[in-house]
Structures are given as C-alpha cells and as structure tokens.
Amino acid sequence: RKEVEQDPGPFNVPEGATVAFNCTYSNSASQSFFWYRQDCRKEPKLLMSVYSSGNEDGRFTAQLNRASQYISLLIRDSKLSDSATYLCAVSPFGNEKLTFGTGTRLTIIP
C-alpha cells in the first residue's frame, strides 16, 4: 500500500460546481498535512495547510480525519482557473520530508 494515495481522476467539473477529493495516508504518526496545486509543467505551490480543526480559505476548505486517516479538499463555486493537479502531502512528526500523493487532476469545464 502506498503511503499517500489519491484518486488520479481526471475530475471534469462544470464551472460553478462544487468538487471534493480525498487523500488517504497510511502512517498514523503523520502530523503535518498540506494541499499543493501544480499547473502543467510548473512547480507545486502551497494551496493550504490542513489543521486538525479544519480550515477554510475563500472557496477552499480542507479537513483532516485522523480516525480514518484521510484529508479532504473542497472547492466551491469552481472557476476555470482552478484547473490543475492537486497534490496532497504528509509528513510524520519530527521528520520533515514530505510524502506526496500522485495528484488528482481537475479540469473545470466552461
């Protein structure tokens, strides 16, 4: 089993819709969780850190479920510019290397 798993998609979603995807992790000692966004042939850029209490940034909401060992990302009122690959990343406490999922490809359709 991979340490971090994501549904690769693609998710093709009409503009204005709400889309959500999950990322599961296998190491229960994981302490830090992130969502990165990666555009085609570009570097990953941090979208959100994921906190235990969940966090929201505009149209984006991230949640952490420790019991079931997954994190989620919800995008509301999707825009064309949201089209990208979304990578989740996890690191265990005291070890700062990030383990990434393979990413979920999202395409917003006009």
Produce one character per residue of 38-65: b if its CB has 16 or more CB atoms within 10 Å, e if not.
beeeeebeebbebeeeeeeeeebbbbbe
Q: What backbone phi and psi angles, to 5 degrees, belong to 48?
A: -155, 145
Our finding on whether 102 is near other proteins (CB under 8 A) is yes
Our finding on whether 91 is near other proteins (CB under 8 A) is yes
Non-local (6+) Cβ contacts of 55 within 8 A are: 48, 49, 61, 62
Q: Which is nearer to other proteins, 51 or 59 (CB)?
A: 51
Q: Which range, of 9-17, 63-71, 73-81, 83-91, touches other proteins by CB under 8 A?
A: 83-91
Q: Which is nearer to other proteins, 77 or 93 (CB)?
A: 93
| Nearest distance in Å: CB 40, other proteins | 12
Q: Which is nearer to other proteins, 27 or 99 (CB)?
A: 99
Element (H, E) at 84: strand 84-92
Q: Which of residues 14-73 bind other proteins (CB under 8 A)?
A: 31-32, 34, 42-46, 49
Residues in touch with other proteins (CB under 8 A): 4, 31-32, 34, 42-46, 49, 87, 89, 91, 93-103
